Amino acid sequence: MTMQQTDRDAALFQASRPMRILRRVAGGDGIISFAILIAILLSWQAAVSLLDVPAFILPAPTEVLAWLIRGFSAAPDDPVSFWPHLGVTLWEALVGFVAGVIVGVLLGFALAHWPRAERIFYPYIQAFNGLPKIAIAPLMVVWLGFGLEPKIWMAAILVFFPMMINAMAGYHSVDPDRIDLARACNATRTQIFFKIIVPSSLPFLFAGLHMASVLAILGAIVGEFVGATRGLGMLLLQYNNNMQMGGVFALLIVLGALGYGLNLLMQLAERKYCFWARRSKTFGH
């Protein structure tokens, strides 16, 4: 009896194991998403070759793939190589990201800590946040030239706002009981800040970081659009002007992957440092 039972359990276990792994990899509905992607690519390819669409309007997926392969396999000093441009854009986005996060979080906490300052500066923050910040990119070029600085500034400015606003929201959302707990232990103001307020705000900060990771790349690209000699945005604009749509599509894919990768990095960091927060407490991605 028991033997049979065990055998059956083992068989069940073996049958379900590959399914479970598949499910974990594909995330259940992932299979459907993947099937849709394949369907789109196939019909795209078919449409392009059947309807004879000119390559300067819509390149075939195979052509885009060829551009991607060429971009990544060519030697870095080859003009078609993506590598040096990728490095430049990534650097601009990264520096802007770090600067924007640091300044945004510090200022957000400071404003939330001093309500008077918050009241005084709030109208300015609202007004500037309402401004489509991309519109200041040309100004940045006039002020800072065609080097990396205007791109870094654009990335930093775009990153700054969600970080500041989330830091303020995080500070204000701290449960007063937690502060009382620390005060009851005779905690100093510094201790209350670092041991209660900062960790309590982490879910909000991560919500900001998710947005910021995408905005940093956006800022760098916009900066390059306005005037640059290097970078993925510059390259994209150049291919676009030359009607080399295969290159444009290939770069769009690279940029998408870049944003996705940065966001994934944020998610990993969140899972490591903010594992305790309920999912529903975060927002913004």
Partner 1 sequence: MNAVATPLYPEDRTSAPKTAAADPLITCRSLNKVYKTRSGDAVDALVDLNFDIAKGEFISVVGPSGCGKSTLLKIMAGLLDYTSGDIAISGKAVTGPSPQNGLVFQQPNLLPWKTIAENVYFPVEIQQGRRAVNMTLVRELMSMVGLKGFEGKYPHELSGGMQQRAAIVRALVQDPAVLLMDEPFGALDAMTRDMMNVELLKIWSKHRKTVIFITHSIPEAVFLSDRVIAMTPRPGEIAEIIPIDLPRPRPLDVVNTPEFGAYAKRLRRLLNANEDIAG
Q: How far apart are CA 234 and CA 227, in angstroms?
A: 8
Is residue 199 part of the contact set for partner 1 (CB under 8 A)?
yes
The piece of 67-75, 94-102, 170-178, 233-241 that touches partner 1 (CB under 8 A) is 170-178
Radius of gyration of the chain (CA): 25
Instruction: Compute, in degrees rounded to 10, the torsion defined by CA atoms 178, 181, 186, 188.
Output: -10
Taking Cα atoms as reference points, which of 277, 259, 275 lies closest to residue 204? Answer: 277
Binder of partner 1 out of 180, 189, 256, 264 (CB under 8 A): 180
Nearer to partner 1, 77 or 177 (CB): 177
The amino acid at 17: R
From 30-38, 142-150, 161-169, 271-279, span contacting partner 1 (CB under 8 A) = 271-279
- Cα separations (Å) of 17 from 8, 21, 222, 257, 277? 14, 6, 47, 31, 30
The size of the interface with partner 1 (CB under 8 A), counted in residues, is 20
- According to DSSP, residue 50 is labeled H
**C-beta of 184: minimal distance to partner 1 in Å?**
5
Identify which range of 28-36, 187-195, 223-231, 255-263 contacts partner 1 by CB under 8 A. 187-195
Q: 56: Cβ–Cβ under 8 A, 6 or more apart, which residues?
A: 243, 244, 245
Q: How far is the CB of 193 from partner 1 (least distance, A)?
A: 13
Using the rule CB under 8 A, give the single segment among 87-95, 134-142, 176-184, 237-245 that binds partner 1: 176-184
Q: Which of residues 201-230 bind partner 1 (CB under 8 A)?
A: 202
**Residue 183 interacting with partner 1 (CB under 8 A):** yes
265: Cβ–Cβ under 8 A, 6 or more apart, which residues? 213
Q: Can you give the binding site for partner 1, defined by CB under 8 A?
A: 175, 177-178, 180-187, 191, 195-196, 199, 202, 274-277
